[in-house]
Amino acid sequence: MKHEKIIKRDDGSRIRITVNLVVEWSRTEPSWSFVVHSCDKGKRTWTSPVNHDDFSWRKLGMEERREEARRRSLTLASTKEVEQAMLELWQKIKPSM
């Protein structure tokens, strides 16, 4: 399941936090992932914190790429903002009685 949250900064720029909750039949625990994109003031194009054409990115293994994308995403958004987006997703899927 996926959820997006857009946060407008004081300088007019925006960030988009996309969180994913993956539940696989072969695993006992669900896994969370997230990515953060930025958009400059007055623009409509979202930019990734990772340049996929960069040689230093391409030489990394898959696990190293995940960690690098996570590290770079956390330079754009705080862990508290990411956790808030995760909680919003949880509220959407939380069972109600």
Is a pLDDT exceeding 80 seen at residue 97? Answer: no
Q: Return the pLDDT at 59.
A: 93
Give the start-to-end residue ranges of the domains of the chain. Answer: 2-92
Mean pLDDT score of the chain, rounded to an integer? 92
Cβ–Cβ < 8 Å for 19, 32: yes
Is a pLDDT exceeding 90 seen at residue 52? Answer: no
Q: Phi and psi dihedrals of 40, rounded to 5? A: -70, 160
* pTM given for the model: 0.87
Is a pLDDT exceeding 90 seen at residue 25? Answer: no
d(CA 85, CA 15): 12
Task: State the helix-helix crossing angle for 79-93 and 62-76, rounded to 10 degrees.
Answer: 100
Q: Return the pLDDT at 89.
A: 94
